[in-house]
Structure 1
Amino acid sequence: MPTESSGTTSPFDSTGTTVPAGTAGSPRNDGPVAGRPLRVALLGCGTVGSEVARLLGEQAAELAARAGTPVELAGIAVRRPDKHPELPPGLLTEDAAGLVVRDDVDVVVELVGGIEPVRGWLLAALNAGKSVVTANKALLAEHSAQLFEAADAAGADLYFEAAVAGAIPLLRPLRESLAGDRITRVMGIVNGTTNYILSAMDATGAGYAETLDEASRLGYAEADPTADVDGYDAASKAAILASLAFHTRVTASEVHREGIGAVTASDLVAARVLGRTVKLLAICERVIDDDGAESVSARVHPVMIPRGHQLAGVGGAFNAVYVEADAAGELMFYGQGAGGSPTASAVLGDLVAVARNRVAGGRGPRESAHAALPVRPMGQTPTRYHVSLDVADRAGVLAQVAQAFAEHGVSIAAVRQRDANDTASLVVVTHLAPDAALQSTVDEIAKLDVVHEVVSVMRVEGEDQ
């Protein structure tokens, strides 16, 4: 599809007042309140886009009743129109840049993904006063500030419920329902592929590579699963969650990221012995120093969590997010985090919201980044470690290992030892300590003569500190 093009202006200004068309920076007066349906430009018609197009047709009457005005497709931008015989040819175009600024378009729904040229299309749309609904987590995680600024300048809406956790109503509660509360932590399973793999490894005892192959065969993993298994997808979502929860701009590049490629069947066995399981979690939290200074920590990595924790029982490709807030307490959001129909449900919810705003002459919620808290580096973030070691089976080994922890200011919470011939297996679980101190401790332990191998290192969550 071609790239960016210049645009026209918006149907309404920020107060919903109609003004003469054609004035620079001024909206047109032909929006839904003037009797015209909300007209939608759809970018991309893959798994999700085709469901959005289908539901807009099949549920047209219900959507019109909910929105207060008909919601109709004005055009659909696709790479190859000949591949979509199920759609009316008159709606199809390869010119996405031209479609998003057409005079008869009120809102652009973007389901293409990626950053360029999509960023240019959406900025052109917003600059022309079109509202935008997007499921593009990668774009939002890096450029949401630019998109929000363009939306504010044009008096347009920017909605993105489908960008995180599919059909699960999560972003709107963070953005609106909990706006009067102080959120302290958001922790969850936000990638179905990795959750399926880890759940299957836990259930079957199989290794990572063979389970990934099975996930690919069953359609749970993409042909190139890198974005999922290396944590990029979850990191983008973590950036969005942290930004909304803590009123602070957080980008994906500021999220600490580790994937699941190093998780072994032995890790799952060790977790089971200790009453735990392993999950890839996005963890966003408000951290307070001893002097009262606040910062934001955002990270994605495998963790061991107790089997009794709410997230431990989330199996297969499902998503779940656990939110802690001062007044609301503990909240849990659970459901299908991906797929055509679930994600289309979130997109249509945003479309209805945009339509209602246009009909009422109002606007949706704006960006809230007033807190502007610093993002804490991973090394300074307090975490807990589960460290599994193969050590020599002789007196004084535990004392040497414990001394290494003590020298780095890391307190040991529990130790478990099992002997086998001339070696022993030693498992150490720590109390909270800065992640850098824990990593330095592990590095020093690995150099001890009595330590044959550091078998695995994994962070621990969901237990008393």
Structure 2
Amino acid sequence: MTETAPLRLAIVGLGTVGAGVIRLLEVNGDLVARRAGRRIEVVAISARDRNKDRGVDLSAYEWVDDMGSLATRNDIDTVVELIGGSDGPALTLARQCLGQGKPFVTANKAMIAHHGLDLAREAERTGVALKYEAAVAGGVPVIKGLREGAAANRIMRVYGILNGTCNFILSTMERDGTAFADVLEDAQAKGYAEADPTFDIDGIDAAHKLSILASLAFGTEIDFPDVDITGIRHVLAADIREAAALGYKIRLVGMAECEAEGGENVGLFQRVHPMLVPTDHPLAHVDGALNAVVAEGNFVGRLFFQGPGAGEGPTASAVVADIIDIARDEYGPAFAMPAEWLQRQVKADAGQRIGRAYLRFLVKDRPGVLAEITAAMRDAGVSIESVIQRAQHEDGGVLVAIVTHAGALSCVEDVLRRLGGSDSLLGAPMVMHILD
């Protein structure tokens, strides 16, 4: 290998992923150098706690308390941010580095979802790279796949399982028949879920990732606020049993489509929602903490990406892949095209979409309740494909599960409005769309 000046890094954030990046570069340093065309050297590090044991030897690296100073140091070529958070220190550091013309690598999906467009514009203004492969699906190279491998295609739809915590919980409930709360507690004990799991189980983490994928897939501006989000905290073990009896598995699916008319995009649909996935669909076989993404292109057909969506090794692998690109001087726009060419989209009317749905009601055990539900569905114009009614001994109620024929989803919403004041219901109904 021809001797070339090394690429000098500063790593900010030394949690699981930051320590993993250092460990990967120590173990695979020679291989990485051969693939990058020059050596990758960590020059400086920064984090909140200087004395914490991170399981790697940090004595060879300069400790920096003022992370902002890294943006202007001439002995640092690229800054790697692994501290997280949509705003605060991470965003300040990103703006400082890109503004000073210093390439920037991040695993921060929240920051990219909220501020990625502005950061991409700044990177283009100063002519440097903004890289974020690790922000979506951990070690799965889906960002590169969409930005580079599928660049010649019009992508019609992108969807998938984007949160490993939720997938672990749902697939464990499916395997063991355990209640959501018990599986969540076990997931926290095993480190699959945070002490405060809100971002994961309420679908926010998956929505951050979906908004990034949608921008890459469709050439649209990131629009996180318009993602419709429903998490998994209200999914019952009974729902999973009924889904299995119908030939489905329940997965939290992020889905985005950009409606086109005459070759122009006219509406962006983005939704994160528990869905019934047919057992013969590839997503039905994604278990545990894995992630998977499906992209459908007009020439390439269906692409399927699957792998570990989090963890030290997979995420560090994605971070270092971005560093290798920078070492090779392989830049390119952050969102596959110049930021000024990304189209601003209106939010598509989800109610006009045609599809089937699973509706689950917990109701009082008394005559006439099923007739009340089916009458509301009749009046809303919803056609019923199948009905399941089962006693629920633990609460004295009855579970009613209904699968609809294909129809406008606004009609399903109308059913819920019609039943909203009914004293027959024990709690709010659960609606899950069916992936057809």
Using the size of structure 1 for normalisation, the TM-score is: 0.83
Is residue 52 from structure 1 mapped to residue 21 from structure 2 by the alignment? Answer: yes
Residues 24-423 of structure 1 aligned to structure 2 (within 5 Å): 35-84=4-53, 86-88=57-59, 90-114=61-85, 115-287=87-259, 294-357=266-329, 363-367=331-335, 368=337, 369-376=341-348, 378-379=350-351, 381-389=353-361, 390=363, 398=371, 401-410=373-382, 412-418=383-389
How big is the shift at 1:308?
1.8
How big is the shift at 1:216?
1.1
* Matched AA of 2:430: V
After superposition, the Cα gap between the structure-2 partners of 1:352 and 1:417, relative to the gap in structure 1 and judged at 3 Å, is: closer
- Matches of 2:327 and 2:390, distance apart in 1: 67
SS of 1:100's equivalent in the other structure is helix
- Matches of 2:144 and 2:283, distance apart in 1: 21
SS of 1:334's equivalent in the other structure is strand
* Matched AA of 1:457: M
- Matches of 2:110 and 2:369, distance apart in 1: 51
- Matches of 2:431 and 2:140, distance apart in 1: 29
In terms of Rg, which structure is larger?
1
How big is the shift at 1:146?
0.9
Mapped contact 1:385–1:457 kept (Cα < 8 A): no
How big is the shift at 1:434?
4.6
* Matched AA of 2:62: L
- Number of residue-to-residue matches in the alignment: 424
How big is the shift at 1:440?
2.1
How big is the shift at 1:287?
3.2
In structure 2, the gaps of 5 or more residues are none
Mapped contact 1:380–1:434 kept (Cα < 8 A): yes
Mapped contact 2:3–2:38 kept (Cα < 8 A): no
Mapped contact 2:249–2:278 kept (Cα < 8 A): yes
- Matches of 1:46 and 1:169, distance apart in 2: 22
How big is the shift at 1:385?
2.0
In structure 1, the gaps of 5 or more residues are 1-32
Mapped contact 2:203–2:231 kept (Cα < 8 A): yes
After superposition, the Cα gap between the structure-2 partners of 1:290 and 1:105, relative to the gap in structure 1 and judged at 3 Å, is: closer
* Matched AA of 1:99: L
After superposition, the Cα gap between the structure-2 partners of 1:408 and 1:70, relative to the gap in structure 1 and judged at 3 Å, is: same
Q: What's the CA shift string for 1:264-291, capped at 9, x where partnerless?
A: 1111121122111211111111235899
Q: What's the CA shift string for 1:220-260, capped at 9, x where partnerless?
A: 11111111111111111111111111111123222111111
Larger displacement relative to structure 2 (338-347 or 453-462): 453-462
The RMSD of aligned alpha carbons is: 2.9
SS of 1:353's equivalent in the other structure is helix
* Matched AA of 2:242: A
* Matched AA of 1:151: A
SS of 1:441's equivalent in the other structure is helix
SS of 2:101's equivalent in the other structure is coil
After superposition, the Cα gap between the structure-2 partners of 1:35 and 1:204, relative to the gap in structure 1 and judged at 3 Å, is: closer
Query: What percentage of aligned pairs have identical amino acids?
Result: 37
* Matched AA of 1:52: V
How big is the shift at 1:201?
0.8
After superposition, the Cα gap between the structure-2 partners of 1:95 and 1:322, relative to the gap in structure 1 and judged at 3 Å, is: same
How big is the shift at 1:404?
3.1
Mapped contact 2:6–2:40 kept (Cα < 8 A): yes
How big is the shift at 1:296?
1.3
- Matches of 1:49 and 1:176, distance apart in 2: 26
- Matches of 1:429 and 1:189, distance apart in 2: 23
After superposition, the Cα gap between the structure-2 partners of 1:425 and 1:49, relative to the gap in structure 1 and judged at 3 Å, is: closer
- Matches of 2:72 and 2:182, distance apart in 1: 48
* Matched AA of 2:331: R
Mapped contact 1:388–1:455 kept (Cα < 8 A): no
Alignment partner for residue 414 of structure 2, among 421, 440, 445?
A: 440
- Matches of 1:177 and 1:282, distance apart in 2: 21
After superposition, the Cα gap between the structure-2 partners of 1:79 and 1:453, relative to the gap in structure 1 and judged at 3 Å, is: closer
Mapped contact 2:325–2:331 kept (Cα < 8 A): no
After superposition, the Cα gap between the structure-2 partners of 1:419 and 1:48, relative to the gap in structure 1 and judged at 3 Å, is: closer
How big is the shift at 1:294?
2.9
After superposition, the Cα gap between the structure-2 partners of 1:204 and 1:106, relative to the gap in structure 1 and judged at 3 Å, is: same
How big is the shift at 1:35?
4.5
- Matches of 2:31 and 2:240, distance apart in 1: 48
After superposition, the Cα gap between the structure-2 partners of 1:58 and 1:405, relative to the gap in structure 1 and judged at 3 Å, is: same
Larger displacement relative to structure 2 (309-318 or 50-59): 50-59
SS of 1:117's equivalent in the other structure is helix
After superposition, the Cα gap between the structure-2 partners of 1:454 and 1:75, relative to the gap in structure 1 and judged at 3 Å, is: closer
Larger displacement relative to structure 2 (151-160 or 302-311): 302-311
Segments of 4+ moved more than 6 angstroms: 289-293, 391-396
Using the size of structure 2 for normalisation, the TM-score is: 0.89
Larger displacement relative to structure 2 (229-238 or 138-147): 229-238
